[in-house]
Structure 1
Amino acid sequence: MFSFLAFRDWIHQTVLFKFLLSWCHFIFTTNHHFIFTTNHQFFFTTNHDSILPNEIITDILLRLPTKSLLKCMCVSKSWHQLISSLDFVNTHLKLNKHHIVLFPGIFENIRFCSLPPLFNKQQLTQELFHMDPPCSPPFFVGSVNGLICLFNRRRDTYIWNPNIRKSKKLFKSSWGTSCYTKYGFGYDDSRDDYKALFIDHCGNSYNGEFSNTRVVVNIYSSRTDSWTILHDQLKGIFLLNYSGKFINGEIYWAASTGIHDYNVRNIISFDVANETWGSLELPICREEVFNIKVGVVESELSVLYTCKPGTTSDVWILKDRKVNVSWMKRFTIEYPQYAILYGFDSPIFTFSIYLRQSDDDDILLLIPGKIMIFDGSTKKFKHTAIVKECNTAEIYGESIVNPLTISCKSSA
């Protein structure tokens, strides 16, 4: 099906880039003169005075991809200051729509791939690339606004932007005293505050049973560059999936009533701005046995109900949380009879679904160690690809947000 929006964006980018090419020899100051080529490479030429207004230069730079902006920062001090400014970074974050897929490893470093090859089974194995995180092995907490939160076995915690190759090591906290630690990473846009959350379920073990279970919540705030430790929260609630899903200001986990109870009872949310907890009922509450997963479809909270014996899954999305909790069944995907979803039975794993905007509108399902493609019209399985030793993949939006400058901001 023809997409007018995609065509419009393509026309806009093409015209804008041709405009940049036609004016490139006027853009730079007397000290620097710079020319773009069609593949975003550049070189210096003779000196000229700039006659292009700064507003137009800024508008052009805002529409360049992240990697091109990093090159532009090397052109002059004025460009470096402009691109590094908070207003520019935040505006570019809203305009930039380039996404890749992260594959957090179980024992290895993080791998990544652009989205298009994932829809082609033959290209996928040739398109995976390795990242070089600041700690090894990295345990993935979450990502937001181009920043990735991760930690290692020593509980060293980092906020990292792989695009600009900068990371911030957080001060040590007391989290990790339990083998049942759950975590999440989110963003409070009202205060421009990034928060990392670590929840420890602690208790005394006797003959495999836990008694006197207590919950300790550790919250890191980038705005104050400090940790807050809270006790006596989430009594009688056990979070199931290790990494919470951050969606529209809240972090979500599937939850049960005890450490040894893996039946999903409801969904627990953490409001990043207010630091308050909430609870959501499941879309379906029946006596039948379902395999239930919490995940995300595009930018919506979703629940995946896999019916026994596991040949179909109903995809439900949360339509409106702030006014009234409203679930809607989006579609049902159909697996082949021989498909066995090893390792995906446990609710500790989450999923992500990406809907391809193209003629066939294919559905991309990301689950631990596996990528599955479904036909957009019939919702039937098309093909799959294995990504060995990989947790659930994440859709990641690139940015130029510097983790070294997000701490200790002055109050608005």
Structure 2
Amino acid sequence: MKSRRQRKDRKTSRLVETDQQHSSLPLPVELMIDIFSRLSLKSIAICRCVSKPWAFVLGRSDFRDLRLTRSQARPRLLFAFWEGNKLFFLSSPQPQSPDEMSVAADHHMSFSFDHPVKDISASVHGLVCVRIGGHRFVNGRRFKVEESVICNPSTGQSLTVPRMKTRKRIGIVRFLGYDPVEKLHKVLGMTWIQCGRTMEHQVLTLGGGTEKATTWRMAECGVPCPCPEGRQNIYISGVFYYIEAARDGSGDHKIICFDVRSEKYSFVKHPKRKLFHKLLDCNGKLALVPIGKSYSFNSETVKMWVLEDPERHEWSKRVYRLPPMWKDVVPQEWLVIVGVTGPNEFVMSSEYSADPFQVYYCNFDKETVTRVVIQGVGALRSGGMGYSIYTYLNHVEDVKLMELQG
């Protein structure tokens, strides 16, 4: 009984301290939150270190929500590239009107790891999942190392995903998703064995507040799940989609759906027998475009499949004819589709840090092609060669500090 009373007294004491910090602020909290939410990411990071009262305000959920809301109203372009053990992010405002012909990459962030970077995910509600791998030597013996690290390009914070407790594996695949109801990120981990089928599906939640003990929990898999196929995966509106790898020699593929909120699986029948496609977010709907397809100044059409009704497995095929001005605006370089920003508007860019680095907005309704120069990306060179660049649309700035939730 005495122990419970002591814990209650300590909790009350912390609340009193928080109220005292709150009352010592020079301005009303609501006004400070509004002011802080308009600052740059660099300024917010500095403000966290000014005083405990300021750090208290910047740690409040209502501040984070307001900043996130404003960021969602004006999403950004995120550019990622790596060299060895180092990963670099640049971001710029996402053009909102045809008049914006040039924007500057005004935020830069880098991360260093113990092992080389192997792959990175798309930006999922402000966070990115990075796969690193290499070897570690213990007592003269070499062991293979493969880890996943969650990075926040807005805060510079990173968090290594703890290892899953399992022995049934040849390898582990991890994906990053977001629960829009609880407003929490989740990591989906899958172990796979030699035949290529996944054996265990576990989920880890990234929480907030103080650090807690971390545990993976089992997720029920209601459909057969061969190992995912490379980078053919995407998160859209609370659901994670990936194309399974066919292992029976038939060439057939399924699109597996994982609902991040309910942590349940389903699948979607594909529109064609073989799915050699890249997954895209088409205004909140899953879309497919041919994987590896590039577009040059002499291209004529863009073909896409769009999932109209997941429950009925209904797809629509769309064929867009490139506007007549396409040949005049697009130079003699190969472009790939990086996303969709509005009704019938595609965004394309190069996969390398050319100088100048340009992003193209192709609006099929207005029959316009807008070329936007991203200042600061084209200067990225290594030995005279450009880096491989990953371009992501609709990146939002999440200033919440990460940690794991038990």
Q: Same fold (TM over 0.5)?
A: yes
In structure 2, do the counterparts of structure 1 residues 229 and 356 end up closer, same or farther at CA, with 3 Å as the change threshold? closer
Matched, 1:110 2:87: yes
Match of 2:204 among 216, 220, 244: 220
Residue by residue over 1:325-358, the C-alpha shift from the partner in whole angstroms, topping out at 9 and shown as x without a partner, is 665566626487998969x8xxxxxx6314389x
Q: How far apart are residue 226 of structure 1 and its match? A: 1.6
TM-score, with length taken from structure 2: 0.64
Q: Secondary structure at the match of 1:258?
A: coil
Q: How far apart are residue 125 of structure 1 and its match? A: 11
In structure 2, do the counterparts of structure 1 residues 256 and 325 end up closer, same or farther at CA, with 3 Å as the change threshold? same
Gaps of 5+ in 1: 1-28, 33-49, 205-209, 345-350
* Residue in structure 1 matched with residue 287 of structure 2 by the alignment: 302
Residue by residue over 1:261-282, the C-alpha shift from the partner in whole angstroms, topping out at 9 and shown as x without a partner, is 6x56442111112111112234
Residue by residue over 1:303-331, the C-alpha shift from the partner in whole angstroms, topping out at 9 and shown as x without a partner, is 2158999843223444565x866655666
In structure 2, do the counterparts of structure 1 residues 182 and 401 end up closer, same or farther at CA, with 3 Å as the change threshold? same
Q: Within 2, Cα distance between the matches of 1:251 and 1:366?
A: 24
Runs of 4+ in 1 over 6 A off after TM superposition: 29-32, 117-120, 122-128, 306-310, 335-342, 379-387
* Residue in structure 2 matched with residue 132 of structure 1 by the alignment: 111
Over the matched positions of the two proteins, sequence identity in percent amounts to 17
Moved more, 107-116 or 146-155: 107-116
Q: Within 1, Cα distance between the matches of 2:124 and 2:318?
A: 25
Residue by residue over 1:214-271, the C-alpha shift from the partner in whole angstroms, topping out at 9 and shown as x without a partner, is 543343223573223568764264532436311111111123532766x564421111
Gaps of 5+ in 2: 1-21, 134-144, 208-212, 381-385
- Tell me which amino acid in the other structure corresponds to 1:352: V
Q: Within 1, Cα distance between the matches of 2:48 and 2:292?
A: 52
Residue by residue over 1:9-49, the C-alpha shift from the partner in whole angstroms, topping out at 9 and shown as x without a partner, is xxxxxxxxxxxxxxxxxxxx9999xxxxxxxxxxxxxxxxx
* Residue in structure 2 matched with residue 207 of structure 1 by the alignment: none
- Tell me which amino acid in the other structure corresponds to 2:347: L
- Tell me which amino acid in the other structure corresponds to 1:78: P
Q: Secondary structure at the match of 1:131?
A: strand
Q: Within 1, Cα distance between the matches of 2:396 and 2:126?
A: 5
More strand by share: 2
Q: Secondary structure at the match of 2:111?
A: coil
- Tell me which amino acid in the other structure corresponds to 1:375: C
In structure 2, do the counterparts of structure 1 residues 333 and 304 end up closer, same or farther at CA, with 3 Å as the change threshold? farther
- Kept in 2, the 8 Å contact 1:197–1:219? The answer is yes
- Kept in 1, the 8 Å contact 2:206–2:405? The answer is yes
Q: Secondary structure at the match of 2:190?
A: strand
Residue by residue over 1:44-83, the C-alpha shift from the partner in whole angstroms, topping out at 9 and shown as x without a partner, is xxxxxx5x54433323333434333223334443222011
Match of 1:191 among 176, 182, 201: 182
Aligned length: 339
TM-score, with length taken from structure 1: 0.63
What's the RMSD between the two structures over aligned residues?
Answer: 4.8
In structure 2, do the counterparts of structure 1 residues 128 and 65 end up closer, same or farther at CA, with 3 Å as the change threshold? closer
* Residue in structure 1 matched with residue 360 of structure 2 by the alignment: 373
- Tell me which amino acid in the other structure corresponds to 2:233: G
Matched, 1:397 2:396: yes
Q: Secondary structure at the match of 1:150?
A: strand
- Tell me which amino acid in the other structure corresponds to 1:111: F
Q: Within 1, Cα distance between the matches of 2:205 and 2:248?
A: 28
Pairing 1:202-281 to 2, within 5 Å after superposition: 202-204=193-195, 213-223=197-207, 225-229=214-218, 234-235=223-224, 237-242=226-231, 244-258=233-247, 265-281=253-269
Q: How far apart are residue 150 of structure 1 and its match? A: 2.0
* Residue in structure 2 matched with residue 161 of structure 1 by the alignment: 152
- Tell me which amino acid in the other structure corresponds to 1:227: W
In structure 2, do the counterparts of structure 1 residues 381 and 69 end up closer, same or farther at CA, with 3 Å as the change threshold? closer
* Residue in structure 2 matched with residue 407 of structure 1 by the alignment: 405
- Kept in 2, the 8 Å contact 1:219–1:227? The answer is yes
- Tell me which amino acid in the other structure corresponds to 1:394: Y
* Residue in structure 2 matched with residue 364 of structure 1 by the alignment: 347
Q: Secondary structure at the match of 2:43?
A: helix
Pairing 1:172-183 to 2, within 5 Å after superposition: 172-173=163-164, 177-178=169-170, 182-183=173-174
Q: Within 1, Cα distance between the matches of 2:87 and 2:349?
A: 15
Pairing 1:29-178 to 2, within 5 Å after superposition: 50=26, 53-97=28-72, 98-105=75-82, 107=84, 109-115=86-92, 131-138=110-117, 139-153=119-133, 154-173=145-164, 177-178=169-170
In structure 2, do the counterparts of structure 1 residues 99 and 332 end up closer, same or farther at CA, with 3 Å as the change threshold? same
Q: How far apart are residue 364 of structure 1 and its match? A: 1.9
Q: Secondary structure at the match of 1:252?
A: strand
In structure 2, do the counterparts of structure 1 residues 169 and 117 end up closer, same or farther at CA, with 3 Å as the change threshold? closer
In structure 2, do the counterparts of structure 1 residues 54 and 238 end up closer, same or farther at CA, with 3 Å as the change threshold? closer
In structure 2, do the counterparts of structure 1 residues 320 and 30 end up closer, same or farther at CA, with 3 Å as the change threshold? same
Q: Secondary structure at the match of 1:101?
A: strand
Q: Secondary structure at the match of 1:55?
A: helix
Q: How far apart are residue 362 of structure 1 and its match? A: 7.0
